[in-house]
């Protein structure tokens, strides 16, 4: 059952992170304390929050998003004291890691204390915790006075929201309030890691790069790349659910999404062939152009049924092939924008797996209807 679309007149309040005043947070804090849910900004994507001390709020999060009940939520904290109440013990290396990367786009699994309601963790004995760096998010949690459980504030299965408008588009009428704190600067969700496994495992690549984590945890394993015993080529995806959420279809636009993964397929000639196939069928094609080395043919750029989103690196002359930070920041917003333009097919040029590329390709592979 999902929350009725007309339960609320959804309000949006703008809060400037450079000029935080406690008064601006009063409506949001009152709603949270009364067991309601609130959309709020983080540096990764927007979240839909409820206090863990109000389990009825957590039920409303699942309803509003239409989220499967076996997919646990991340608990957001504003300081280290809050962590103590949530967890029974710290895994080896956790303190050092969290002190280095919090506040920021890192989520760590801990053995949960009885204080964390079962509905938050979907019955698991672990709780995923993160301290966001967005000042509006931290201030909200601090003033509410308790940890905030929050998934991304999109309808389940859709691309995550990186602006307050995206949240409004998906959840209007279903939630009372959205705090607009500007565009999320990273654009992909947090990196989730499990330190209790030996070796420690990266469960979901995200806003904190694998390369940076590896400097502190050299043995960190990347499940998606396959373990040493697998015959898969480096970079090959093994479909193995590692965190409950990963078995569901995710991040998908309404359009049929084609991911061009093989670098060999990323030539102007090949891309034109793909475009022609759909152009001949009179389809409205959306195109996410990431490769600075390829000049898209004029016939693609000029066609009235085709919409191109240009995410190529600025300054063509010394351009690298792609700008992974830019692609990560704009990915979900681009998918949403092309959906809104009525694109029936979206073609996205994949990027390399380095840095932000790992999270970008992880999201695209899950969202894609076809991978070439
Ligand atoms: O950046 C983010 O992480 C955003 C912002 C709002 O903080 N949140 C977010 O939440 O992406 P969500 O619910 O969309 O994704 C949480 C992921 C899911 O894949 C879920 O299965 C996993 O974290 N997760 C949560 N608790 C877990 C647990 N105890 N064990 C394993 N995986 C867990
Ligand atoms: Mg999500």
The model's pTM is 0.93
Which atom of ligand 1 lies closest to the CA of 192? 23
Q: Quick one: 150 exposed, middle or buried, by C-beta within 10 A (0-12, 13-18, 19+)? A: buried
Predicted pLDDT of residue 267: 86
Are the C-beta atoms of 39 and 189 separated by less than 8 Å?
no
Nearest CA to 245 out of 104, 370, 62 is that of: 62
Ligand nearest to the CA of 40: 1
In the CATH scheme, what is the code of domain 256-371?
Answer: 3.40.50.11030
> What are the tens digits of pLDDT across the range 248-303?
667 888 999 999 998 888 888 999 999 999 999 999 999 999 998 888 889 898 99
Which atom of ligand 1 lies closest to the CA of 124? 29
Residue bearing the CA closest to ligand 1, atom 24: 72
> What is the end-to-end Cα distance of the chain in Å, rounded?
37
The stretch 2-12 carries a mean pLDDT of 81
| Cα 77 to averaged position of ligand 1 atoms, centre (Å) | 14
Report the DSSP pairing between strands 126-130 and 106-111.
Answer: antiparallel
Tell me: domain 11-189, CATH 2.60.120.10, correct?
Answer: no
| Cα 160 to averaged position of ligand 2 atoms, centre (Å) | 6
φ/ψ of 31, rounded to 5, equals -60, -50
Average pLDDT, the chain: 90
Written as six digits, the tokens of 291 are: 């490769």
Written as six digits, the tokens of 16 are: 């400037």
Domain ranges across the chain: 11-189, 256-371
Tell which wins on pLDDT, 224 or 315: 315
| Cα 352 to averaged position of ligand 1 atoms, centre (Å) | 24
Are the C-beta atoms of 287 and 306 separated by less than 8 Å?
yes
Query: Is 51's pLDDT higher than 70?
Result: yes
| Cα 7 to averaged position of ligand 1 atoms, centre (Å) | 26
List, chain by chain if needed, residues with CB within 6 Å of any ligand 1 atom.
Answer: 42, 44-45, 47, 71-74, 107, 109, 121, 124, 126-128, 130, 150-152, 189-190, 192, 204, 243-246
- Torsion 219-222-223-225 (CA) sign: negative
């Amino acid at each position: 059952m999902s929350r009725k679309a007309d339960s609320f007149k959804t309000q949006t309040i703008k809060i400037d992170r450079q000029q935080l005043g406690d008064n601006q947070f009063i409506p949001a804090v009152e709603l949270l304390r009364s067991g309601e849910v609130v959309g709020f900004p983080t540096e990764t994507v927007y979240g839909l929050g409820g206090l863990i001390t109000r389990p009825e709020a957590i039920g409303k999060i699942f309803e509003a998003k239409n989220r499967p009940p076996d997919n646990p939520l991340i608990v957001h904290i504003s300081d280290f004291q809050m962590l103590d109440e949530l967890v029974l013990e710290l895994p080896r290396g956790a303190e050092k890691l969290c002190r280095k990367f919090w506040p920021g786009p890192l989520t760590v699994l801990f053995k949960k204390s009885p204080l964390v309601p079962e509905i938050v963790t979907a019955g698991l004995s672990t709780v995923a915790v993160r301290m966001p760096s967005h000042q509006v998010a931290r201030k909200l949690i601090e003033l509410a006075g308790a940890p905030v459980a929050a998934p991304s504030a999109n309808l389940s299965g859709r691309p995550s929201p990186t602006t307050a408008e995206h949240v409004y588009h998906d959840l209007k009428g279903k939630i009372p309030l959205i705090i607009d704190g500007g565009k999320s600067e990273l654009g992909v969700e947090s990196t989730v890691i499990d330190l209790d496994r030996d070796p420690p495992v990266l469960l979901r690549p995200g806003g904190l790069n694998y390369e940076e984590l590896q400097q502190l945890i050299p043995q960190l394993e990347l499940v998606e790349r396959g373990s040493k015993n697998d015959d898969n080529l480096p970079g090959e995806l093994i479909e193995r659910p590692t965190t409950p959420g990963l078995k569901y279809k995710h991040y998908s636009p309404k359009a049929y999404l084609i991911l061009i993964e093989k670098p060999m397929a990323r030539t102007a000639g090949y891309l034109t062939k793909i475009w022609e196939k759909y152009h001949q069928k009179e389809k409205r094609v959306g195109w996410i152009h990431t490769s600075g080395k390829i000049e898209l043919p004029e016939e693609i750029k000029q066609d009235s049924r085709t919409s191109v989103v240009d995410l190529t690196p600025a300054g063509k002359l010394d351009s690298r092939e792609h700008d992974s930070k830019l692609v990560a920041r704009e990915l979900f917003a681009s998918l949403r924008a092309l959906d809104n333009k009525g694109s029936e097919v979206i073609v996205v040029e994949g990027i390399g797996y380095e840095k932000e590329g790992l999270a970008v390709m992880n999201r695209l592979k899950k969202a894609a209807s076809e991978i070439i």
